[in-house]
Amino acid sequence: MEDKDKQFMFKAIELSVESVNNNGGPFGAVIVKDGKIVSAMSNKVTQYNDPTAHAEVNAIREACKVLNTFDLSGCEIYTSCEPCPMCLGAIYWARLDKIYFANTKTDAKNIGFDDSFIYEELEKPYTERKIPTVQIFRTEALKGFQAWEQKTDKTEY
């Protein structure tokens, strides 16, 4: 472990503690590019009334604004806890190069943040999920995909 890793992780941990003190969840995340912090955010779910306002997602959104791009290749994320399924998906979509985390998903589960049900739900057929999931109008919806496929000046992501 290098000193820079310690510095960035300690910042993420500091953000997680500050978040708790400000009535937020105990999570912080820092995105780094070329050895410099691009964004440093905490969990804002209760402050924003937004269930997607996790620290990692907030940090990704801020880094994309700062760098004026949706592609965070060349960046790394330091997060105070192992990312949940939503955040992990966002990290992959953002193309971050590396993930460093401190607390584990088991540590999070032990204080009431249990994401295991999401992984379990994804493995189930649509008809067996807790939230009723019904596919309708696929043929009509394919028109959007066809338009995308035929578009010659699209910005791929």
Q: Measure the CA–CA gap between 120 and 75, rounded to whole angstroms.
A: 30
**Rg for the chain (alpha carbons), in Å?**
18
- Model confidence at 2, pLDDT cuts 50, 70, 90, reads confident
For residue 55, count other CB atoms closer than 10 A to its CB: 30
Please list the helix, strand and coil fractions of the chain in percent, rounded to the nearest 5, in that order: 50, 15, 35
Catalytic residues: 56
In the predicted structure, residue 1 carries a pLDDT above the cut 90: no
Average pLDDT for the chain? 96
Instruction: Report how far apart, in Å, the C-alpha atoms of 29 and of each of 1, 20, 131 are.
Output: 18, 14, 30
**pLDDT tens string 105-136:** 999 999 999 999 998 999 999 999 999 999 99
57: its two tokens: 């997602």
Nearest to 58 by CA among 74, 73, 36, 80: 80
**pLDDT tens string 47-106:** 999 999 999 999 999 999 999 999 999 999 999 999 999 999 999 999 999 999 999 999
